[in-house]
Amino acid sequence: MYKFLLLVFVFCYINVNAQEQAMQLVQKVKAKLDVVNDYTAEGKMRTDVTFIKAPVGKVKVYYKKPNKFRLERNGGISILPKGGISINISSMIVVNGYMALDAGTAVVGTTNTRVIKLLPNAENSDIILSTLYIDEANLVIRKSVTTTRENGTYEMEMFYGKFISYGLPDKVIFSFNTKDYKLPKGVTLELDDVDQATKEKMKGKKGKVEIIYANYAINSGLAESIFK
């Protein structure tokens, strides 16, 4: 009986300890990101969705703590999937009140990461589950998979370079499932015939939006009016 109780105690201790460690790791990453109050970055955006043909365009992004984000295309038209996605790292962990669970380790690219699952405490939160792949050595998020109530599951992969000390990536690849997205019929005013092979090609592929950042201007004191 004592042995059984001891086993339960040890199991609970390990479990609670793992949760605490996971929570601490997330807090460390968040603390690193908190150094950045605001930033402006210029970059190039490429949309890779089978049913969208769009040129690579120059973009400018603005971010201000805690979660203000604006993406502006330099004099052109940009198409981004909806879903509360700001394509910024802070949005992945700025969830007020969450539970962090350690889910082991995984390799993202060539980097060993710790997998942390974040469960929001609020019942009406749009995010149901967020899985973060954290590079413990550099305290940065390498990848995240977020499941939302309204907009399905999307994935973000980050590649770091000279701004790794601020936790800011040089490249972000945002992936989402395109099978749920449908083009309207009847209002297109087009009568083009698309062959079956092209239609098949357009089905069931993941859509990607890739942003390659350059020229980060960090903590320059962005005005609130930019986000209005």
Partner 1 sequence: MWKHLQIELYKIFHRPRTYLAFAAITALIGVIQLGLKVDGKEYTEFVMADFAGSFSVDGKILNGYFICYVILQLLLVHVPLLIALIAADMISGEANMGTLRLLLTKPQSRTEILLAKFFASVIYTILLLIWIAIMGLFLSMAIFGTDDLFIMKSSYVVVVKSSDVFWRYCGAFCFAALAMTTVAALGFFLSFFAENSIGPIVATMSVIIVCTILSTMNIPLFNLIKPYLFTSHMVTWKEFFDFKVNDANEAIIGSIQYPEKIIKSAIVLVLHIIGFVAGGIWYFKKKDVLS
Burial class (CB in 10 A: 0-12, 13-18, 19+), 63: buried
Query: In angstroms, rounded to a whole number, what is the distance separating the alpha carbons of residues 127 and 153?
Result: 10
The only residue of 4, 104, 110, 180 in contact with partner 1, by rule CB under 8 A: 180
Q: How many residues bind partner 1 (CB under 8 A)?
A: 39
Under rule CB under 8 A, residue 78 binds partner 1? yes
Under rule CB under 8 A, residue 56 binds partner 1? yes
Find the shortest distance in angstroms from Cβ 204 to partner 1: 15
Which structure tokens are listed for 225? 């009016």
Find the shortest distance in angstroms from Cβ 105 to partner 1: 31
Under rule CB under 8 A, residue 228 binds partner 1? no
**The dihedral sign for the CA sequence 113, 95, 125, 39:** negative
Question: By three-state DSSP, how is residue 85 classified?
Answer: coil
The only residue of 183, 221, 224, 228 in contact with partner 1, by rule CB under 8 A: 183
> Which residue type occupies 105?
T
Under rule CB under 8 A, residue 190 binds partner 1? yes
Under rule CB under 8 A, residue 79 binds partner 1? yes
The only residue of 17, 121, 165, 198 in contact with partner 1, by rule CB under 8 A: 198
**The dihedral sign for the CA sequence 108, 48, 50, 154:** positive
The only residue of 1, 5, 77, 137 in contact with partner 1, by rule CB under 8 A: 77
Under rule CB under 8 A, residue 115 binds partner 1? no
Under rule CB under 8 A, residue 49 binds partner 1? yes
Under rule CB under 8 A, residue 65 binds partner 1? no
The only residue of 1, 5, 137, 187 in contact with partner 1, by rule CB under 8 A: 187
Query: In angstroms, rounded to a whole number, what is the distance separating the alpha carbons of residues 198 and 228?
Result: 40
Which structure tokens are listed for 182? 């449908």
- Residue 113: beta bridge partners? 106
Under rule CB under 8 A, residue 182 binds partner 1? yes
Query: In angstroms, rounded to a whole number, what is the distance separating the alpha carbons of residues 135 and 158?
Result: 11
Under rule CB under 8 A, residue 226 binds partner 1? no
Query: In angstroms, rounded to a whole number, what is the distance separating the alpha carbons of residues 207 and 196?
Result: 20
CB atoms within 10 A of CB 88: 23
Under rule CB under 8 A, residue 53 binds partner 1? yes
The only residue of 108, 202, 212, 218 in contact with partner 1, by rule CB under 8 A: 202
Binding site for partner 1 (CB under 8 A): 46-57, 71-73, 75-82, 180-185, 187-192, 194, 198-199, 202
